[in-house]
């Protein structure tokens, strides 16, 4: 294997040929001006990243060639919706994070016109914008997390469907696909990297609906060879999109980033497919035994953690028995347990709306435990269904991270992650 070098240094970007589970590629060293720089470190960054890779087999081994390179998901890594086998013989194969229907983006646009969700009313457009601030602890070294932010084969597992990137200040960053936070207006989004410091900071301008929004990632070392990641997205002209709220979509993305940076699989992604009025279905594969996954629903301390992402917004009520109360959030209607079948099934009904139900089915798989989530009987308006799809998708990603790693990862409360500017 050729000598590896996959860091972005102050003078050049280098790569190697690799083989392994995360795909392969060849790499040529080339000089660039204006690269993301790290003052006074020079070529030491290459040695640092190579030494890190030898310690961490999950670190990336190939980067895109200098200039633009396009990539999709690394071969061998399936999305959650495709990774989980159908539940029983009558269940259809589930698409990623959706209810089992493959629907074109054009059909989605016809059924739910973008203006309904994506455009702020004209009278308030100039005065209203939203700022997002997410703080997370990731159990992986800073070089590993930084690579997951920039490398195309990783971006397709947590941020977008495909991407092209010139990893330098002033470089173009193009991305698109059905798993973006907001569906591209054309083939893809065309953004520009406007700030960067190797292994510590990366920021880009993202024009959305006529507003130059800005995304920034700041990384710092944390005890235990971990990383503190702060993600901000400022100047957003919209709060809701065709996959739910922007906040929940970002939380899904960052939850997947945490998972793949820690060497685990990705899971539910933002889903823009049309919803069925009054009905919602999701599925997630958790890399843990069924007993451990089910226990995360029985322990109030566990439930309050994963349902909030790590920082509770209020108490939860968990009475794991038929007739007991199961309530996740003080802003939600309390649920009564209709069925609690140990290790297999949980059925909840809203106390004030008996036609509203939530079902969790647990099924052992070769690689872990599949959870099949179904909800029905709630407000049939598309906006309501989309909101709940996004909210529960985020919760299931948080549940996966909690069961597999012991923490959902977020360090600031849900209510503090978005504010109107």
- Per residue of the chain (421 residues), give pLDDT as tens: 433 333 333 322 222 222 333 333 322 223 233 345 444 443 332 233 444 444 444 443 333 333 334 444 433 333 444 344 444 333 333 333 333 333 333 323 333 333 333 333 343 344 589 999 999 999 999 999 999 999 999 999 999 999 999 999 999 999 999 999 999 988 999 999 999 999 999 999 999 999 999 999 999 999 999 999 999 999 999 999 999 999 999 999 999 999 999 999 999 999 999 888 778 999 999 999 999 999 999 999 999 999 999 999 888 999 999 999 999 876 566 799 999 999 999 999 988 777 889 999 999 999 999 999 999 887 667 788 889 999 999 999 999 999 999 999 999 999 999 999 8
Return the half-sphere exposure (C-beta side, CA atoms, 13 A cut-off) of residue 57. Answer: 4
DSSP letter for 414, please: G
**Residue among 270, 250, 239, 267 nearest 105 (CA):** 270
State how far the Cα of 389 lies from the Cα of 272, in Å rounded to an integer: 10
β-bridge partners, 228: 137, 220
Report pTM. Answer: 0.75
Could you tell me which residues come within 8 angstroms of residue 179 by beta carbon, excluding any fewer than 6 positions away?
96, 159, 160, 161, 269, 270, 271
Chain-centre distance of CA 4, in angstroms? 29
Quick check: helix, strand or coil at residue 361? strand
């Amino acid at each position: 294997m050729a000598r590896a070098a996959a860091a972005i240094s102050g003078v050049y970007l280098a790569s190697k040929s690799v083989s392994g589970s995360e795909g392969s590629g060849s790499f040529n060293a080339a000089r660039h001006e204006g690269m993301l720089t790290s003052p006074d470190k020079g070529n030491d960054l290459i040695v640092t990243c190579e030494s890190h890779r030898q310690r961490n087999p999950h670190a990336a081994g190939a980067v895109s060639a200098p200039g633009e390179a396009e990539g999709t998901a690394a071969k061998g890594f399936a999305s959650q919706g495709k990774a989980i086998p159908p539940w029983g013989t009558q269940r259809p194969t589930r698409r990623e994070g959706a209810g089992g229907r493959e629907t074109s983006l054009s059909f989605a646009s016809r059924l739910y016109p973008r203006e309904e969700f994506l455009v702020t009313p004209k009278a308030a457009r100039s005065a209203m914008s939203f700022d997002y601030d997410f703080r997370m602890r990731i159990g992986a070294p800073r070089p590993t997390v930084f690579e997951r932010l920039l490398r195309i084969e990783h971006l397709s597992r947590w941020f977008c469907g495909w991407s092209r990137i010139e990893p330098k200040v002033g470089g173009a960053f193009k991305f698109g696909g059905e798993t973006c936070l907001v569906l591209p207006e054309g083939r893809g989004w065309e953004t520009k990297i406007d700030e960067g410091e190797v292994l510590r900071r990366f920021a880009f301008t993202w024009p959305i609906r006529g507003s130059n929004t800005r995304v920034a990632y700041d990384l710092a070392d944390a005890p235990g060879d971990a990383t503190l990641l702060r993600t901000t997205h400022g100047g957003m002209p919209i709060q809701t999109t065709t996959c739910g709220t922007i906040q929940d979509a970002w939380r899904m993305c960052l939850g997947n980033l945490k998972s793949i940076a820690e060497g685990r699989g990705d899971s539910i992604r933002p889903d823009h497919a049309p919803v069925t009025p009054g009905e919602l279905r999701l599925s997630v594969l958790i890399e843990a035994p069924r007993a451990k996954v089910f226990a995360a629903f029985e322990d109030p301390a566990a439930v309050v953690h994963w349902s909030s992402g790590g920082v509770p917004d209020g108490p939860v009520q968990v009475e794991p028995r038929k007739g007991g109360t199961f309530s996740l959030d003080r802003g939600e209607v309390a649920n009564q347990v209709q069925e609690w079948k140990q290790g297999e099934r949980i059925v909840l009904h809203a106390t004030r709306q008996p036609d509203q139900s939530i079902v969790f089915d647990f099924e052992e798989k070769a690689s872990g435990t599949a959870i099949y989530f179904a909800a029905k009987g709630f407000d049939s308006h598309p906006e309501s269904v989309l909101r709940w799809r996004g909210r529960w998708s985020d919760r299931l990603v948080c549940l996966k991270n909690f069961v597999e790693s012991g923490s959902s990862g977020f360090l600031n409360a849900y209510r503090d992650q978005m504010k109107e500017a």
